[in-house]
Structure 1
C-alpha cells in the first residue's frame, strides 16, 4: 500500500523555517486548493454575478532538509505550487489534558508552477535561462 498525496494550489502564508537541535531544517506553509461547489444535481453553483462558487480547503505542508531550504528561499504567499508527498496524522495531549489530533502533508517534492510576486515584478532578465522556473 502507498500513502501518496498530490496537491496543486496557492500558498496561503510566507513559509516559516526552523532548525532542530540536530540540524534538520524544517519549513512549513499552508496551501489552498479549490474545487467548484455543486448542487444536488451535480451542477456548478454560481453567485449573483455568474461567477463559479468554490469550496476551498487548507492544507498544512511540512518540508525537510533540501526541500525545506528551496521552499524557504523561493516561495512567497500567493505563489502556485504542486506538492507531492504523504499524509501524516499526529495525536497529542495539550496542557489542559485534552487529546488533540492534527494532519499535515509531508512534502517529498515541491514543483513551482509560478513565480512569487516579487520575482514577477522584477521583469524579464537579459539571460533567458534565468526566466525559467529554477526547480
Structure 2
C-alpha cells in the first residue's frame, strides 16, 4: 500500500515570492510561510511559537504566486513535503525540506497599505483558490 504525504498550512507570507524561469520553460516560485501556535508555560505566561516553512510552487501556481501573493498575506497551502540535497558554494552537501504546493488559497484581507493586484479578488470577495494541474506523466493511468 502506498503512503500518504499531505501537508495543510495556514499562515502569513514571510516575503514576496521569488520567481525563476527555468531553461526547460518551467516556472518556480519560492517563498516562506510563517505559522504560529500559542501555549502557556508552567508559570501561565502565554508563549508564541513561530514555525517557518519553505514553499515551492511550480508552473501555473508559480505564475499565480508571482501575480497575487505579497509579503504578510495570509494563505492556505496544501501540498506535499519533500527533502532534497544540493551543493553549496563551498561544495558542502546541504539539505532543505520544503512544501511542494498543489493548492494555494488567498485568505483574509491584504496587509495594511497594500494595493490590490490587477485581477486579484477584493477582500470582501470569497477566497480565491489556485490548483496545480498534474503533468500528463504524473497521472495514475
The structure richer in helix per residue is 1
Residue by residue, what CA displacement relative to the aligned partner does 1:27-58 show, whole Å, maximum 9, x if unpaired?
Answer: 11100001113435xx8x53xxxxx3210010
TM-score norm. by structure 2 comes to: 0.75
Contact 1:77 1:116 in 2 (8 A): no
2:10 maps to: 8
How many residue pairs get matched?
120
Regions of 4+ moved over 2 Å: 37-40, 92-99, 114-117
The structure richer in strand per residue is 2
When residues 115 and 91 of structure 1 are mapped into structure 2, their CA distance, relative to the original with a 3 A threshold, is same
Q: What are structure 2's unaligned runs of at least 5 residues?
A: 130-141
Report the aligned-residue RMSD. 2.3
Larger Rg: 1
Q: SS at the partner of 1:61?
A: strand
Q: How does 1:1-135 map to 2 (within 5 A)?
A: 1-39=3-41, 45-46=44-45, 52-117=46-111, 118-119=114-115, 131-132=124-125, 133-135=127-129
TM-score norm. by structure 1 comes to: 0.78
